[in-house]
Structure 1
Amino acid sequence: MSERFSASYLIETSQSLEKAVQTMAGEQSTGTFVKIPGETGELMEKYAAKIEELEELETVDQPALPHAKKGTPIRRARVKLSWPVENIGPNLPNLMATVAGNLFELAPFSGLKLLDIRLPDSFESVYPGPGFGIGGTYKKIGISDRPIIGTIIKPSVGLDAALTAKQVSTLIDAGLDFIKDDELMGDPTYNRFTERVDACMKVINNYADKHGKKPMYAFNLSGTMDEMKKRHDYLLEKGGTCIMINLIWVGLSGIQEMAGHTQLPIHGHRNGWGIFQRHPLLGIEYPAMAKMWRLAGVDHLHCNGIRNKFCETDDSVFASIKDCLTPIWSDQDRAMPVLSSGQWAGQAFDTYKGIQSTTLMYLAGGGIMGHPGGIAAGVESLRYAWQAAMEGLDEQAARERYKVVDEAFEFFG
């Protein structure tokens, strides 16, 4: 029997569920809106999408999306469709065109969300996952038993190369493990990529020579394929240890191409993710898209953080972190979860309670640089908060033990 891949969905429709789901299956495989010559039973049996599961949920009074077809009752359901692998071959863009694609425009649906994707084991030999992943990232930074503590260069735009390097020097002297460009910082005229690499890597390399440990800096090289490869090669020559890609805008094929070229970990920034995830009845949930990014070769994936400055709920953040840490096939294809967005020492306790893991990057901007004791105290407050959480201390006990944690609560809390 042919190998199959599958996708699960949450749908909403005023049409009969069976008819609506048959429309989904037909649109994304062999069918169109009428039966046509060539659509034989043999062809359908071999290549058509199949409805594997259909579970009716609640009915609602109003459609989730405007301009939906009128009708009652409006039903919601969970659906699982499957397709033969022969339809797409080992091709991630074609896979996404099949499991998502035109589904979102289909008139019968006032809500449709791709929840997850399941792939056959044959994909593992083609897509082994991140080249460095969790283990390779820890090895490059030189730690293994705690969260990687990091920050983002701010202001996000406006600094020239010299001012950026000055900030980097201050931050790594304060004890940070990891620094990244903001996603907005690319190759502006006042801070060219090569100039920023020259200035910052000089500071980082000098620090490494002196201390025997090299903090990781993820430089944003997002651009055309030629630009990204040239920037990667330049960074590698200067001793860099990480590249950053704006995942949604570079796209799956661009990520795959860079994963095949890079000799450095890929820090994947998901800016724009709200387009796909924010509406509860439209778009794509994180497990589906994160799986594609991991298979394409991304080593670090942003997940937001709890009590963040955005709209995402804590439960959604926890689910994203756990998804990154859950193998598709093996530990090698896991990605390093990256927590950020309004984080400071106070969230460490509930984060640890929620995921029971310290395998993550914990990035704080204001939570470090806004600490009343200064930047080094901000770094210490995060490290000690995580240490206390790992030891089973609650917030009050941690505040009593560590002055910098107490100061963080007084200021941020």
Structure 2
Amino acid sequence: MTRITATYDLESPIGVAAAAAVVAGEQSTGTFTRLAAETDALRARSAARIEDIVITGTSPTPALPTRKTGTSYERGRVTLSWSLDNFGTSLPVLMSTLAGNLFELAELSAIRLIDMQLPGAFATAHPGPQFGAQGTRDLMGGHTGPLIGTIIKPSVGLGPDETAALVATLVDAGIDFIKDDELQANGPHCPFAERVAAVSAVLNAHADKTGKKVIYAFNVTDEIDQMWRNLDLLQAHGGTCAMVCVSAVGLSGLRALRDRSPMAIHGHRAGWGIYSRSPDIGISFGVMQKLWRLAGADHLHVNGLANKFTETDAVIAQSARSVQQPVCASGPAHLAMPVYSSGQTVWQVDPARRLLNNDDFIFCAGGGILSHPFGASAGVMALRQAAQAARDGIDIRAFARQHPELEAAINTFPEPDIAVTQGQNRAS
């Protein structure tokens, strides 16, 4: 495979085939008029090709505001391809080509990038995740089962010492993973350096006492040079994980972090709704997660089943599975760990595991831990018990009869309505 392919769901007042030709020209050799330098030989070498068109329907009204109008608006899926020679393996240029000016074209009344296939040259040109699932377990000194995690809450407002006190409670409860909220980075009320020093003292003392290194994902999101300084500070304190808001720093910022990071990179997708919420414009997670993995993310947030946001369980399942599939047709697979979060309790553990068929995920619960009637330790234990029941194929209610922490959790947290199907990924 030497060409990049991208599939779009688009709508147009001029018809899908004509609109596809406009997009192909705009995103390769063409412009609003034929150029003298745009020879047949040049077009054969560098023009985007229309590989496939499937008409899916028509509408009497446009999905999005558009300057060009028509009597009807045809909708369909269009697959285009580009020569690798047009831009090499540059991720920013790839993004500018596949998701650039085409979103502004007047001939389109809807345009959404829904799939992307890359040749193996991208997998070999980019570092990908440095740790992935097994490397993340190794950072902890060895671990089995999913990582049970949580988020520092309140999101903002706690100072360094208050944050460290909460971390002490969580590590004593047996937590595996803790992360900063995406809103907490380096504010005056909780400076990064002071938070790292206070929290690391707790983590290191716990590791010395128990042999278990709890992973804390410190939010390093900032300008590139400051992110590098943040990494240096984390390394000096024995840090193992840096969290970054991948949309905020962009692909180049993420790659710059990966190139300097001696620790795992936890990718938070804050702002994802901008790309995903509308069915008529945006980019699918299946596309963006490939780019974030190529740039170096070890963990990627995929939302959670029965979550508090707008995505359906079917979308969550597809997103979680995609992170554990090869990023390109050939070359290194660059697998990452999906991170479930948002309103998660013991009820979601089994379906989250079933849709992957393995334990290579992080399961983050806030209230699902801290609101347990027996306390935070029982909250963590209940999630572990739910994971054990899932791994052994035992119904959660039956398992809870012999495990009081789990029984209290299922009696406390309402059972959500979850609809997912078993995945096809490798079994652990």
Which ranges in structure 1 are unaligned for 5 or more consecutive residues? none
Counterpart Cα distance in 2 of 1:94 and 1:262: 24
Runs of 4+ in 1 over 3 A off after TM superposition: 66-69, 142-145, 329-332
SS of 2:401's equivalent in the other structure is helix
Aligned to 2:404: 403
How has the CA–CA distance of structure 1 residues 89 and 377 changed in structure 2, closer, same or farther, with 3 Å as cutoff? same
Residue 405 of structure 1 and its aligned partner are, at CA, apart by: 1.7
- Counterpart residue number, 1:298: 297
**Alpha-carbon distance, 1:75 to partner:** 1.9
Aligned to 2:250: 251
Instruction: Tell me which residue corresponds to 1:100.
Output: 99
Give 1:62 deviation, angstroms.
Answer: 3.1
Q: For the residues of structure 1 that align with 2:230 and 2:305, how far apart are their CA atoms? A: 34
- Please give the per-residue CA displacement for 1:155-201, whole angstroms capped at 9, x wherever unaligned: 11011100100010100000001101000001111211110011010
- 2:55 aligns to what? 56
Contact 1:68 1:109 in 2 (8 A): no
Q: Over aligned residues, Cα RMSD in angstroms?
A: 1.4
Q: Distance in 2 between matches of 1:335 and 1:349?
A: 20
- Equivalent pair of 2:66/2:108 in contact (CA under 8 Å): no
Letter in 2 for 1:333: H
* Aligned equivalents of 1:233, 1:332: Cα separation in 2: 29
Q: 2:420 aligns to what?
A: none
CA distance in 1 between counterparts of 2:66 and 2:407 reads 52
Instruction: Give 1:141 shift.
Output: 1.7
In 2, are the aligned partners of 1:93 and 1:253 still within 8 Å (CA)? Answer: yes
CA shift at 1:14, angstroms? 2.2
**Larger displacement relative to structure 2 (244-253 or 73-82):** 73-82
The residue number in structure 2 matching 1:145 is 144
1:128 touches 1:332 (CA, 8 Å); kept in 2? no
Give aligned pairs, total: 412
For residues 360-394 of structure 1, the C-alpha deviation after alignment (integer angstroms, 9 at most, x for no partner) is 00000111001111000110111111111121122
Using the aligned pairs only, state the percent identity. 46
Q: List per-residue Cα deviations over 1:247-275 (Å, max 9, x = no partner).
A: 10101101111110110010000000000
Give 1:332 deviation, angstroms.
5.0
Shift of 1:202: 0.6
Shift of 1:321: 0.5
- 1:285 Cα offset (Å): 0.1
Residues 106-145 of structure 1, C-alpha deviations (whole Å, 9 max, x = no match):
1111111111211112222211411111221111123443
Amino acid in the other structure paired with 1:115: I
Output the CA distance in 2 between the equivalents of 1:350 and 1:371: 21
Residue in 1 aligned with 2:35?
36
Equivalent AA in structure 2 for residue 203 of structure 1: V
Q: In the superposition, relative to structure 1, how do residues 223 and 128 fare at CA in structure 2: closer, same or farther (>3 Å)? A: closer
Instruction: Tell me what 1:333 maps to.
Output: 334
Which amino acid in 2 is paired with 1:363? C
Separation (CA, whole Å) in 1 of partners of 2:269 and 2:111: 21
Q: Distance in 1 between matches of 2:377 and 2:67?
A: 54
TM-score (norm 1): 0.97
Offset, 1:13? 1.5
Does residue 114 of the first structure (1) align with residue 122 of the second (2)?
no
Match of 2:228 in 1: 229
TM alignment of 1:165-180, pairs within 5 A: 165-180=164-179
Distance in 1 (alpha carbons) for counterparts of 2:204 and 2:357: 35
Contact 1:309 1:341 in 2 (8 A): yes
Structure 2: gaps of 5 or more residues: 415-428
How far apart are the structure 1 equivalents of 2:256 and 2:346?
Answer: 38
Matched with 2:421 is none
Cα pair 1:130 1:332 within 8 Å, conserved? no
Q: Is 1:267–2:269 an aligned residue pair?
A: no
